[in-house]
């Protein structure tokens, strides 16, 4: 009796195993066969480049929303007009994010100033750059307060972006985020000049 119960049990185990093997083995290797919990390994979400019927253009990878600004970036959309320049003169403070900069960023500002500005504005910012000394360029002002009293961080930023008078725009040379570093350096030179007077 005992042995028969045991055999029955083993037979049941064998049947269950055979059944499982039967459903688990794929007959057609290109088909997944029967899947018990497909969501565990087959995600329900759309893949990045998969067509997505929820959108009219069916693009799964959505284009970025107009006006999106990358993190850490600075967007300055004031246009190159006298009004926008005047408005920049009214903003007396740095934007909060750029108020304090690291020594490394200050050095970077100095580096870019030396590349892009020094030929006209001079190492000290007194308006005696090489081009001025050689008589190739005239009318470059000193950054000192008595020469240009109203300068603000924002107006300096505006002038780097759009230029002013015969000074060309430097938007193509200096990245928006780096312009603040250059502005800090210009302000440093301005303080140095003011303190010497
Ligand atoms: C080719 C020569 C030249 C170069 C290069 C140049 N500038 Fe100027 N910059 C000028 C001249 C000329 C003016 C005077 C413009 C005016 O007021 O009409 C000026 C004016 C300025 C002013 C005063 C603007 C104001 O509001 O009165 C600032 C600030 C300034 N430049 C910053 C810079 C910085 C920063 C750079 C480098 C990114 C730079 N400049 C590159 C020629 C130059």
Residue ID of nearest Cα to ligand 1 atom 25: 151
Higher pLDDT, 126 or 30: 126
Q: Please name which of 150, 111, 138 lies closest in space to residue 128, comparing C-alpha atoms.
A: 138
Provide the pLDDT for residue 26. 57
Most informative mutation of 125, 164, 189 for ligand 1 (most atoms within 8 A of CB): 164
The closest residue, in CA terms, to atom 6 on ligand 1 is 117
Average pLDDT over the chain, rounded to an integer? 90
Q: How far, in Å, from the CA of 100 to the mean position of ligand 1?
A: 23
Pocket perturbation via mutation, ligand 1, pick of 119, 159, 171, 191 by most ligand atoms within 8 A of CB: 159
Q: 83-131, pLDDT tens digit by residue? A: 999 999 999 999 998 999 999 999 999 999 999 999 999 999 999 999 9
For the Cβ of 117 lying below 6 angstroms from any atom of ligand 1, the answer is yes
Backbone dihedral region for residue 67 (phi beyond 0: left; psi -120 to 50: alpha; all else: beta): left
Residue indicated by tokens 């030929």: 119
Q: Write down the pLDDT at residue 105.
A: 97
Structure confidence by residue, pLDDT tens digits, 139-182: 999 999 999 999 999 999 999 999 999 999 999 999 999 999 99
pLDDT tens for 56-93 read 999 989 888 988 888 878 888 899 999 999 999 999 99
């Amino acid at each position: 009796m005992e042995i028969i119960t045991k055999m029955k049990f083993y037979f049941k185990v064998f049947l269950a195993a055979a059944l499982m093997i039967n459903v688990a083995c794929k007959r057609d290797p290109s088909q997944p066969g029967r899947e018990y919990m497909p969501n565990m390994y087959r995600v329900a979400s759309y893949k990045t480049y998969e067509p997505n019927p929820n959108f009219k253009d069916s693009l799964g990878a959505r284009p970025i929303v107009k006006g999106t600004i990358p993190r850490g970036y600075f967007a300055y959309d004031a246009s190159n007009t006298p009004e926008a320049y005047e408005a920049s003169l009214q903003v007396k403070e740095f934007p909060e994010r750029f108020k304090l900069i690291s020594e490394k960023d200050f050095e970077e500002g100095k580096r870019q100033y030396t590349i892009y500005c020094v030929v006209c504005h001079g190492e000290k910012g007194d308006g005696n750059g090489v081009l001025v000394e050689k008589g190739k360029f005239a009318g470059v002002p000193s950054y000192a307060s008595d020469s240009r009293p109203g300068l603000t961080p924002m107006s300096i930023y505006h002038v780097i972006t759009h230029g002013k008078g015969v000074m060309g725009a430097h938007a193509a040379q200096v990245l928006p985020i780096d312009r603040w570093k250059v502005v800090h350096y210009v302000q440093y030179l301005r303080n140095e000049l003011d303190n010497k007077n």
